[in-house]
Amino acid sequence: MPAMHPPLFAKHGLCSLLLTVLISSATMTGARAAGSDDGQPPEATKTTQECKDGKVWDEKKKECVDPQKSGFNDDQLYRAARELAYAGQYDNAIRVLRLARNQDDPRILNYLGFANRKAGNVEIGMSYYRKALAKDANYLLARSYYGQGLLLQGDVEGARAQLVEIRDRGGRDTYAYSSLYDALKGSATY
């Protein structure tokens, strides 16, 4: 490919446009990849449809198992805990999340925050959100849930600041943004 002449780019504003597109693309890619969770409730599986007493469905064994004895990897534990949390089984979700080997994984920290906040342990939940954001400042869903926790604590300005952070990090069209936006408007939300 022949080299482009910089004055030609500058003359037509193409350099600016290209730079803007590249920065926006990188920001959106990072923002959407961060946390790898769009925030939409997970599909219910046999974990929440059939298993009882905090057990989790083991697809290989085709039965409900004690997650502590399951040998599940962190991704499997995360998915099961997320499903439990969205089903309102906060204590079970916390128990499963604590089994993860990587307790510094922002996803694990975020859902420890979510489950604790929803269980009424707001300050404990907030501490987990702060840890998740310290690990990954671009984790938009953690920012959204943190903002919702701030609202519970009466800090409307802090929640608005999180909404701006989500927007400025390329998350304007995400569940994280709309969820916190709705919460700020007084809508019920996760």
Residues of the chain with CATH 1.25.40: 122-190
CATH number of 122-190: 1.25.40
Residue type, 183: A
* Contact assessment for residue 102 and residue 108, using Cβ atoms and an 8 Å cutoff: yes
What pTM was computed for the model? 0.77
Tens digit of each residue's pLDDT, the chain (190 residues): 444 444 433 444 443 433 333 333 333 333 333 334 666 778 888 899 999 999 999 999 999 999 999 899 999 999 999 999 999 999 999 999 999 999 999 999 999 999 999 999 999 999 999 999 999 999 999 999 999 999 999 999 999 999 999 999 999 999 999 999 999 998 555 5
Residue with tokens 């700020």: 184
pLDDT of residue 37: 67
Tokens of 136: 């990954």
Q: How far apart are CA 88 and CA 48, in angstroms?
A: 10
* Contact assessment for residue 161 and residue 144, using Cβ atoms and an 8 Å cutoff: no
